[in-house]
Amino acid sequence: MSKSLVVAVCGATGAVGREMLTVLEQRNFPHSEIIAMASARSVGKKVPFMDRELTVVEMTEDSFEGVDLALFSAGGSTSEKFAPIAVKAGCVVVDNSSAWRMNDECPLVVPEVNPHDLDWHKGIIANPNCSTIQMMVALKPIHDEARIKRVVVSTYQAVSGTGQKAIEELENQVRRLMNGQPVVADVYPHQIAFNCLPHIDVFMDNGYTKEEMKMVNETIKIMGDPSIKVTATCVRVPVFYSHSESLNIETEVKLSANDVRALLAKAPGIIVEDYTEKNIYPMAINAAGEDATYVGRIREDETIENGINMWIVSDNIRKGAALNTVQIAETLIERDLVRVP
């Protein structure tokens, strides 16, 4: 294996950054040093790591000298500015924002699906959108077996996807409403407590949200197959952790519900939870804090020749962000790719 790595977690005070530190620790990620970076606002703050605390330093243009690997979760504009600076300093970047995902120079990777795309990286590797990642883990085995023609997906997304401030907004709104007090909405355009908002990220000219179009475009890039059609409706729900998704999948080759259960049961990263006679199916509160993508409610779509419906749930901060990023970093190490070509 390669030399011991100096690793920077950029955005270490955020919802994703903190989880990255937890995942690095839990997976015993090989490192000689871990540096916690964030904005000037956080300089001197402490973040827990292993048996100690890391003191947060400001991310600046000079931060990346001597850093081998930077795991970014500090927002799109920050990443647009700092990722190229880091690469110039010889650092490989795995980025969580949407800034680099559709860039032709940047692989977009889910390690269970397209690890080979890491081979052509030029310094920046993009982590897909949280909703896309869990859908890819579940669709890949089905696509390999039966060729997916079209997917209709509706998401039920947790507030943690928006970051620490949104987690606090839901907590505060619930507390105030239960005490008969009026609520304020800062992060979202409307009250999120006891509500559903069919609105994630910004609206685009075609009437879809950017989040919905990420699911369409990122799927094609990750699967390496422009023939897969995806149409999405993304909804924010008052859940703290884990995104749930309802999927309707049309395949070229007929698969029974049992075929799909058997395929997914042996696929990496998936746990099939489908015992309706015992009321057992994937749920956000059970997936929270876990690594797997849970799949259940697997059944044939009786309105078309070759169709499957299913329900998938995964922790958006873990597999949807921090865990997938660390898995990318681990795969880079395995393939001896922690270097700027």
State the catalytic residue, choosing from 10, 91, 130, 234. 130
41: Cβ–Cβ under 8 A, 6 or more apart, which residues?
none
Which residues are bridge partners to 70 per DSSP? 8, 93
Asked if 13 is part of the footprint of ligand NAP (rule: CB under 6 A), the reply reads: yes
**42, 79, 129, 324: which one contacts ligand 12T (CB under 6 A)?**
129
Question: How far is 341 from 322, CA to CA, in rounded Å?
Answer: 25
**193, 228, 320, 328: which one contacts ligand NAP (CB under 6 A)?**
320
Nearer to ligand 12T, 211 or 274 (CB): 211
* CA 238 to each of CA 192, 194, 208, 244: distance values in angstroms, whole numbers, following the listed order: 6, 6, 21, 12
91 as an active site residue: the answer is no
Smallest gap from residue 263 Cβ to ligand 12T (A): 28
- Stretch touching ligand NAP by CB under 6 A, among 75-83, 142-150, 226-234, 274-282: 75-83
Q: Binding partner of residue 39 among ligand NAP, ligand 12T, none, CB under 5 to 8 Å per kind?
A: ligand NAP
130 as an active site residue: the answer is yes
Question: How far is 108 from 117, CA to CA, in rounded Å?
Answer: 7
- Stretch touching ligand 12T by CB under 6 A, among 17-25, 26-34, 157-165, 265-273: 157-165
Nearer to ligand 12T, 63 or 129 (CB): 129
Asked if 201 is part of the footprint of ligand 12T (rule: CB under 6 A), the reply reads: yes
Residue 145 corresponds to which amino acid? E
Residue whose C-alpha is closest to residue 91's, from 33, 27, 18: 33
**78, 157, 191, 244: which one contacts ligand 12T (CB under 6 A)?**
157
Residue 289 corresponds to which amino acid? G
What distance, in Å, lies between the first and last C-alpha atoms of the chain?
18
Asked if 135 is part of the footprint of ligand NAP (rule: CB under 6 A), the reply reads: no
Token pair 């909804």 is at which residue?
Answer: 235
- Stretch touching ligand NAP by CB under 6 A, among 123-131, 178-186, 230-238, 245-253: 123-131
Write the DSSP symbol of residue 260. Answer: H
Q: What is the torsional sign of CA 35, 337, 127, 316?
A: negative
Q: Where are the alpha helices (DSSP H) in 96-202?
A: 130-146, 164-178
Q: Is 204 helix (H, G, I), strand (E, B) or coil?
A: coil
Which residue ranges make up the site for ligand 12T (CB under 6 A)? 97-98, 129-130, 157, 161-162, 200-201, 211, 214
Cite the active site residues: 130, 243
Which residue ranges make up the site for ligand NAP (CB under 6 A)? 11-17, 38-39, 41-42, 59, 73-76, 78, 96-97, 127, 129-130, 161, 163-164, 316, 320-321
